[in-house]
Amino acid sequence: MDQQDVIVVGAGNAALCAALSAREAGARVTVLERAPVAERGGNSTFTAGAIRVAYGSVDDLVELIPDLSEEEKRTTDFGTYSEDQYFDDLARVTQHRGDPDLVELLVRRSHPTLKWLRGNGVRFVPIYGRQAFKVGGKFKFWGGLTVEVSGGGPGLVEALHTAAERAGIEVLYEARAVALLADDRGVTGVRVRQKGKTRELRAKAVILACGGFEANAEWRTRYLGPNWDLAKVRGTRFNTGDGIRMALEIGAQPRGNWSGCHAVSWDRNAPEFGDLAVGDQFQKHSYPFGIMINARGERFVDEGAEFRNYTYAKYGRAVLEQPGQFAWQIFDPDHQGRGRHHRAIGRASRRRRQAGVPAYRRGIQSRGAPRHSLRPQRQGRARRGGAENPQEQLGEHDRHPAVPGLRGDVRHHLHVRRAADHQ
């Protein structure tokens, strides 16, 4: 291959957006994907596809969702999510630790960026099934999260790959970048190993968009701490920190929060890495409707500290810190149908047999989980929310804090697992 203008390492959302953008600017671009075609797209393929975007009116949403119908506009209160709200949420959740320049870019460019994605064939829909409930006959969105990609992560990656192909961007599969080529002039290319053969590719610019070190148990333990090797990875197995290592090897300066990560509660019986057939549905996120206890029967987080959207990504770490690295979520019968744990995943969410349940719990009644999906809108338009009572409609992003009066009442429903995951 002759010299390229740009080589992009990785083929997830970040990489494909970078590749398309470089191509738009006239560059010749090659993308290196470590995974085979069937597993391409990294964690972007696993994502649920929810995207936070600032908007001031329905008209702003229509620019992203041109097929929003008149009836949907009439029967829905989409509210607004201003740039100020977005800034406030980021500041609160990160305790003001976000990089100011990156935060500024993320917020101010959120709407134009989604418009640009739309222009590249990515279709958006309102998240009726997860972020809206019915009040007085009208669907009402909450939590500033209104838009998702049609078809979730697989839909996103498919659309971007189609755009890349149309733009003439070459994608090499099973092509693992192993080192950056650099000299006094800077980076001049990449050493790549593809199907057992190593070669050097030259380029004027190299973009690293190959994820973090989440799938590297040794690095997780090294940087996040003890027991992180035991955490399950909810996404791709290919993100082992190569990009970070390659950059450090040529003298890049380490930045960011090396001992922190996004970690959620995850099914104890889930496989070690993500399973695309199940996606993000191993999540165990219904704690705002009940309590979480550890193996000693002790509570260890405030389940109702905030809307679930703002706590779930840090409670995975709290679970991992418990004895045996697991927890139970406990609900009373009123909870039936409100939370994600009701989604039965035959391959992983086996309820414990009586014999496997500790003696102190043998009296607990285990109830069957209904087989409905709270988020069936993976393909095409989102399912609409339904119940008049907000609490009955809430799905993945539970809105209500802990159920009042439940604390101490552990007679009922036992259906949970351990979990910690990390990306």
For residues 177 and 419, which CB has a smaller minimum distance to ligand FAD in the complex? 177
66 token code pair: 């041109």
Number of helices (H) and strands (E) in the chain: give both, helices first.
13, 17
For residues 20 and 35, which CB has a smaller minimum distance to ligand FAD in the complex? 35
Q: Which long-range contacts (CB under 8 A, 24 or more apart) does 186-191 make?
A: 187/250, 189/3, 189/7, 190/7, 190/9, 190/32
Residue 266 contacts residue 282 (beta carbons within 8 Å): yes
- Footprint of ligand FAD on this chain (CB under 6 A)? 9-15, 32-35, 40-44, 46-51, 176-177, 209-211, 234-236, 238-239, 242, 274, 280, 423
For residues 32 and 403, which CB has a smaller minimum distance to ligand FAD in the complex? 32
Cα-based angle 16, 21, 24 (whole degrees, multiple of 5): 125
Tell me which residue has its CB nearest to ligand FAD.
12
Residue closest to 308 by CA, chosen among 281, 290, 291, 285: 285
Report in angstroms how near the CB of residue 268 gets to ligand FAD at its nearest: 16
For residues 6 and 291, which CB has a smaller minimum distance to ligand FAD in the complex? 6
Q: At 275, phi and psi to the nearest 5?
A: -120, 110
For residues 143 and 211, which CB has a smaller minimum distance to ligand FAD in the complex? 211
Report in angstroms how near the CB of residue 79 gets to ligand FAD at its nearest: 19
Residue 326 contacts residue 298 (beta carbons within 8 Å): no
Residue closest to 140 by CA, chosen among 76, 82, 85: 76
Cα-based angle 88, 91, 97 (whole degrees, multiple of 5): 165
Report in angstroms how near the CB of residue 194 gets to ligand FAD at its nearest: 10
Report in angstroms how near the CB of residue 31 gets to ligand FAD at its nearest: 9
For residues 206 and 410, which CB has a smaller minimum distance to ligand FAD in the complex? 206
Report in angstroms how near the CB of residue 365 gets to ligand FAD at its nearest: 31
Report in angstroms how near the CB of residue 353 gets to ligand FAD at its nearest: 28
